[in-house]
């Protein structure tokens, strides 16, 4: 086994985005591409020597090959140990849990999350810190700087490691421990939720469908829902993980999980349905005849989390990403909780969770989580919903209706224009930025503009400042439009337009969301000229 030093040169564009580095799989498979970035990770975290890491991924195409390369590079760089999920698989929340539970120095997660997988699709790599959360911007900036000056990397020449067999092996001086990807995570879930009550719920005939979308949550969901909680076999759909996710788009939203939405809207609807994404951190919640927006889900969970044993003593505070609807703010106000508004990206919740200022966090992009790990967590969100339904005996629709009756309803939708010309998209955002000061006082279809700014965040814990986090336009009646460019796409630019309208008239809480938001949608076009800038007549995806 020989340690070799390979000469290389910088490769353009290795700047981590909202959540790590995501590129086309073929790009990652290109000469030195993965190796350069892994070496830059070591530089960004002050070296790998003597450290223990967790390694796992969502099982997408190239996951297995990339894992072997990362292990050889970790060994060559002096890492003491790597704890790896069997077959190099770990869901993102399970990886976060292992990083924390085993008191490691961090971990590498191989995933492009909800992006499709396969040789022609996407791959990704991100680093999580010792707290289990995504590396903050100062660390990812150091990684990026390292990619611009790299001249060589170290790697062992060795045979592939057997990652199918549980147990401990050696690679050079480094120890490798292959662990069951599910058991530690399932144990954590048992510590947070009332599994007896959930078993009784399923025993009483409660029906559920969980769509794992042929992605990483299949084994987790089967073990927890079917084996431990006794949901009938077949409650988990598409539970076999596939390297290309069965050619699907593993993003749990009404577009990509349409069959599940159709099911809950049909006569054959189960009591409850949910889906998760490629790496298991996102969730979509559905009930008989109803889709719960991620923003509403966060608000309902915040209002009812105390019904689950893990949160019985109440919440320290809540946090949402800026584009997420303000529904949770109303719950926080009623409960007297601190409520934080952070930029898009789970990494921004880490400091608040570590400092004990927030217990529950969530994002409009189908992410909800708590201080049990430092990632959003799809299966956890499903269990919290189930625990609340078991305690209240309510239906999803009933719980939601009660919630709106109490707090009012934040109608909400996100319109995505995918793979648009990056120059045109940036031009549109620049034009909006330039015109911000002229907007307050002007009236559009949605009403009179009360405020308009570009969001910047001052982290209350470490004082760091993150600028350029999206254009916010607030109306006097509580409606809001946010414009932002995605940081997770791999082709051109993806424009996201977030639309929100608040309603508390009891007779108007049950409207069709598209109708309720029509004026806000029209205002977004009036203000930004989206059609002209993107050349598109309509968004590609509406969530
Ligand atoms: C990632 C981040 C989330 C973010 C989402 C969308 O999720 O972790 O915080 O909300 O991307 O980001 P953007 O709007 O920049 O595309 P995931 O599930 O892809 O890791």
Q: What does the alpha-carbon distance between residue 501 and residue 503 come to, in Å, rounded to a whole number? A: 7
| pLDDT at residue 489 greater than cutoff 80 | no
The span from the CA of 283 to the CA of 454, in Å, is: 28
Average pLDDT over residues 216-239: 97
Question: Where is average pLDDT lowest: 64-78, 81-95, 178-192, 523-537?
Answer: 523-537
Between CA 163 and CA 86 the distance in angstroms is 6
pLDDT at 294 over 80: yes
Nearest to 397, CA basis, from 277, 509, 286: 286
* CATH number corresponding to 2-179: 3.40.120.10
Tokens of 522: 């029209």
DSSP 247: G
Ligand 1 centroid distance, CA of 365 (Å): 7
For the CA of 92, the nearest atom of ligand 1: 20
Q: Give the pLDDT of residue 20.
A: 93
Q: Which of 344, 362, 486 to mutate to test the pocket of ligand 1 (most atoms within 8 A of CB)?
A: 344
In the predicted structure, residue 332 carries a pLDDT above the cut 80: yes
Report the C-alpha gap between 200 and 532 in whole angstroms.
56
Instruction: Give the pLDDT confidence of 245-261 residue by residue, as tens digits.
Output: 999 999 998 889 999 99
Minimum-distance ligand 1 atom for the alpha carbon of 345 = 9
Return d(Cα 430, Cα 440) in angstroms, integer.
18
**CA 369 / ligand 1 centre spacing (Å):** 13
- Considering only CA atoms, which residue is closest to atom 2 of ligand 1? 345
Is residue 492 very low, low, confident or very high in pLDDT (cuts 50, 70, 90)?
confident
Architecture of domain 409-542 in this structure: 2-Layer Sandwich (3.30)
Distance from residue 366's CA to the centre of ligand 1 (Å)? 9
How much distance in Å is there from the Cα of 323 to the middle of ligand 1?
A: 12
| Cα distance between residue 272 and residue 403, in whole Å | 17
Q: Which of 19, 39, 111, 113 is catalytic?
A: 113
* pTM of model > 0.75: yes
* Confidence label for 17 from pLDDT (cuts 50, 70 and 90): confident
Using CA positions, which residue lies closest to atom 3 of ligand 1? 345
Domain at 185-407, CATH class: alpha beta
**Residues with C-beta less than 6 Å from any ligand 1 atom:** 18-19, 113-114, 277, 281-282, 321, 344-346, 363, 365, 367, 486-488, 496
In angstroms, the CA 104 to CA 124 distance is 22
CA of 488, closest atom in ligand 1: 16
Ligand 1 pocket test: pick from 117, 132, 365, 420 the residue with the most ligand atoms within 8 Å of its Cβ. Answer: 365
Q: Is the pLDDT of residue 271 over 90?
A: yes
Q: Quickly tell me which residue has 């189908």 as its tokens.
A: 366
Which atom, in ligand 1's list, is nearest to the CA of 489?
Answer: 16
Distances (CA, A) of 344 to 204, 207, 282, 363, 414: 40, 34, 14, 8, 14
Atom number in ligand 1 closest to CA 484: 14
What's the confidence (pLDDT) of residue 251?
A: 93
The domains of the chain are located at: 2-179, 185-407, 409-542
Q: Confidence band (pLDDT; 50, 70, 90) for 32? A: very high
Nearest CA-CA partner of 110 in 146, 68, 58? 58
Q: Which ligand 1 atom lies nearest to the CA of residue 115?
A: 19
- Position 49 scores a pLDDT of 98
pLDDT for residue 18 is more than 80:
no
Looking at residue 238, what is its pLDDT? 95
Ligand 1 pocket test target in 488, 497, 539 with most atoms within 8 Å of CB: 488
Distance from the CA of 444 to the center of ligand 1, in angstroms? Answer: 30
Is there a shared CATH topology between the 2-179 domain and the 185-407 domain? yes
Is residue 39 among the annotated active site residues?
A: no
C-alpha 195 – ligand 1 centre gap (Å):
30
* % of residues, the chain, pLDDT over 70: 100
Spacing, Cα 481 to ligand 1 middle (Å): 19
Residue 490 has pLDDT above 80, yes or no: no
**Confidence tier at 58 by pLDDT (50, 70, 90):** very high
**Looking at the predicted structure, is the pLDDT value of residue 541 above 90?**
no
**pLDDT band, residue 187 (cuts 50/70/90):** very high
Q: How does residue 295 score in pLDDT terms, banded at 50, 70 and 90?
A: very high
> How many angstroms is it from 19 CA to the middle of ligand 1?
6
**pLDDT given for residue 290 in this prediction:** 96
Tell me which residue has its CA closest to atom 18 in ligand 1: 113
Structure-token match 């977004």, residue found: 524
Nearest-atom number in ligand 1 for the CA of 365 is: 10
User: Atom 17, ligand 1: which residue's CA is nearest?
Assistant: 113
How sure is the predictor about 330, in pLDDT bands with cuts at 50, 70 and 90? very high
Could you tell me the distance, in angstroms and rounded to a whole number, from the CA of residue 192 to the centre of ligand 1? 25
| For residues 428-434, average pLDDT | 95
Backbone phi, psi, residue 453, to 5° = -155, 175
- Give the mutation target among 15, 16, 17, 19 for probing the ligand 1 site: most ligand atoms within 8 A of CB: 19
Q: Mean pLDDT, the chain, as a whole number?
A: 96
Q: What would the DSSP string read from start to end of 360-390?
A: EEEETTTEEEETTSSS--HHHHHHHHHHHHH
């Amino acid at each position: 086994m020989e340690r070799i030093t390979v000469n290389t040169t910088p490769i353009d564009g290795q700047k981590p985005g909202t959540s790590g580095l995501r590129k086309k799989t073929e790009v990652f498979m290109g000469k030195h591409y993965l190796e350069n970035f892994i070496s830059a990770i070591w530089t960004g975290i002050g070296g790998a020597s003597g450290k223990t890491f967790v390694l796992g991924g969502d099982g997408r195409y190239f996951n297995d090959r990339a894992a072997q390369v990362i292990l050889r590079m970790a060994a060559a760089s002096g890492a003491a140990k790597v704890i790896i999920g069997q077959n190099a698989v770990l869901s993102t929340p399970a990886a976060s849990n292992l990083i924390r539970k085993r008191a490691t120095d961090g971990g590498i997660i191989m995933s492009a999350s909800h992006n499709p997988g396969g040789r022609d699709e996407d791959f990704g790599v991100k680093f999580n810190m010792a707290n289990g959360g995504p590396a903050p911007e100062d660390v990812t900036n150091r990684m990026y700087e390292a990619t611009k000056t790299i001249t060589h990397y170290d790697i062992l020449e060795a045979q592939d490691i057997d990652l199918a067999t549980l147990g401990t092996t050696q690679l050079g001086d480094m120890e490798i421990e292959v662990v069951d990807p599910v058991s530690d995570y399932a144990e954590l879930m048992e510590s947070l939720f009332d599994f007896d009550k959930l078993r009784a719920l399923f025993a009483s005939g409660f029906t559920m469908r969980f769509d794992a979308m042929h992605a990483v949550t299949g084994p987790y969901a089967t073990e927890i829902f079917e084996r431990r909680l006794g949901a009938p076999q077949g409650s988990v759909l598409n539970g076999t993980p596939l390297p290309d996710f069965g050619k699907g788009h593993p993003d749990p939203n009404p577009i990509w999980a349409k069959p599940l939405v159709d099911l809950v809207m049909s006569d054959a609807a189960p009591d409850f349905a949910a889906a998760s994404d490629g790496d298991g951190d996102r969730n979509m919640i559905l009930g008989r005849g109803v889709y719960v927006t991620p923003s509403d889900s966060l608000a309902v969970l915040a209002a009812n989390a105390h019904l689950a044993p893990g949160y019985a003593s109440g919440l320290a505070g809540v946090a949402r990403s800026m584009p997420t609807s303000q529904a949770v703010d109303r719950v926080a106000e009623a409960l007297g909780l601190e409520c934080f508004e952070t930029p898009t990206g789970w990494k921004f919740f880490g400091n608040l969770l570590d400092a004990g200022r927030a217990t529950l966090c969530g994002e409009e992009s189908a992410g909800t989580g708590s201080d049990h790990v430092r990632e959003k967590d799809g299966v956890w969100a499903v269990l919290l919903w189930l625990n609340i339904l078991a305690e209240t005996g309510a239906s999803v629709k009933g719980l939601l209706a009660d919630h709106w009756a109490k707090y009012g309803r934040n109608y909400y939708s996100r319109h995505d224009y995918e793979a648009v010309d990056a120059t045109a998209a940036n031009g549109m955002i620049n034009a909006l930025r330039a015109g911000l000061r002229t907007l307050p006082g002007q009236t559009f279809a949605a009403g009179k503009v009360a405020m308009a700014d570009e969001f910047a965040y001052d982290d209350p814990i470490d004082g760091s400042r993150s600028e350029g986090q999206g254009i916010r336009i607030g109306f006097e009646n509580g409606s809001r439009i946010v414009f932002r460019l995605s940081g997770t796409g791999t082709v051109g630019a993806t424009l996201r337009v977030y639309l929100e309208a608040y309603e508390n008239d009891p007779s108007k809480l049950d409207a069709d969301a598209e109708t309720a938001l029509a004026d806000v949608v029209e205002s977004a076009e009036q203000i930004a000229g989206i059609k002209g800038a993107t050349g598109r007549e309509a968004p590609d995806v509406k969530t």
